[in-house]
Amino acid sequence: MSEPRLKLLLVGCVGLLAVTLERPGSLALLALAGAVALIRVPASRPYWGRGALVVGAAVWGTVLSQGLFYAEHPRVALLSVGPLSLYREGALYGLVQSLRMIAVSLAGLGLVVSTPRDQLLRGLMGLGLPSGLAFMVMTALHFLPDTVREALEVRRARARRGRPVWQRSPWAWLALELSLLRPVVARLIRRARTLAESLDARGFDPLRVEARAPWGGSPGAWALTLAACAGTALLVGARLIFLAYTSGLAWFPALRPLYGWVRAWM
């Protein structure tokens, strides 16, 4: 898919669906779609192994923390060890939150890994964003892969000077990973400053709005994007109708099958 605006629309659809869907199964499907989109980008290959680890750690950490500290009632204890209990409702809530985060992260990662910075910037400006805002969004989207890349560089530098990359103790491993933060942030700031000065010197105007370029993209890309947009619009619409019913604003007997469908699948 060569048209960055189509990709941005697809990522927007994933973002909307991530806040619309509440069932773990549906969110898992959404996250899977994000993963497939990412895997299809050859440039993402070096990140697969570590990415899977991060996804696993994110799900595990959120499910465990939410399951242990769930304070609402009613709640069902799945497992109790001394004073600690793991509650089903908390674990489910944690699963939903982590799947939302993963779906959006994977889609965003797919977008930035497959789209060079300038194309992404042009795509955002092509959607009508002023160049300054577009630059901020582009930088924010690139923050995660840039941080990962910098962290890998620092780890490699440490390994060269004798620090083992893997530690047996999980706490030692965690401490090692956390200690990457300072040099990584320092380097990101340095690079960002150089880039900002370079753009500044080249007359980059943060308030400039680009004339809209004609949309590109293959018929297949257009079909996929239109289908995703239409599907998202339908699902968001269904959620809004369901919300109107649950909050007592509007209820239509003819829409009973829709209410049931939203409750079961969304």
Partner 1 sequence: MSALSLRQAGYAYPAGAGVGPVSLEVEAGEIVLLAGPTGSGKSTLARLAAGLVQRHGKGAPRGEVRVVGVEPHTASPGELVGLVGFVAQEAGDQIVASTLGEEIGLALARWEPGARAARVAEVLREVGLPEEPGRGTGALSLGQQQRLVLGAAIAPRPAVLILDEPLSQVDPAGAEALVALLRRIAGAGTAVLWVEHRLDRALAGADRVVLLDQGAIRWEGPCQEAPLPLLRELGLELPALRALDEGLAAAGLAAGGLAARWRGWRPPLAPLGAVLREEEGLRWSWGPGTALEVQALSLRAGERVALLGGNGAGKSTLLRLLAGELGRGRPHARTQSVPQEPDLTLFCATVGEELAYGPREARRRDALDRVRVVSEALGLLPLAHRPPPSLSRGQRQRVAVGAALTCTPTVLLLDEPTSGQDLAGVERILDALEGALSDGALLFATHDVDLALRRATRLLLLDRGRLVWEGTPAQALAAPPSGLRLPPLAERCRAWGLPYLEPAALLRGQP
Residue 163 interacting with partner 1 (CB under 8 A)? yes
258 CB contacts (<8 Å, ≥6 apart)? 238, 241, 242
255 CB contacts (<8 Å, ≥6 apart)? 241, 245
Residue 168 interacting with partner 1 (CB under 8 A)? no
Do residues 7 and 111 touch, judged by C-beta distance below 8 A? yes
Binding mask 101-140 for partner 1 (x = CB under 8 A): ---------------xxxx-x-------------------
Residue 157 interacting with partner 1 (CB under 8 A)? yes
Q: Which is nearer to partner 1, 36 or 165 (CB)?
A: 165
The rounded distance, in Å, linking the Cα atoms of 258 and 131 is: 42
32 CB contacts (<8 Å, ≥6 apart)? none
Among 186, 209, 213, 226, binds partner 1 (CB under 8 A): 186
Among 2, 19, 177, 205, binds partner 1 (CB under 8 A): 205
The rounded distance, in Å, linking the Cα atoms of 36 and 186 is: 33
CB of 163 to partner 1, least distance (A): 5
Q: Which residues bind to partner 1, rule: CB under 8 A?
A: 116-119, 121, 153-154, 156-163, 180, 182-183, 186-187, 190-191, 193-206, 208
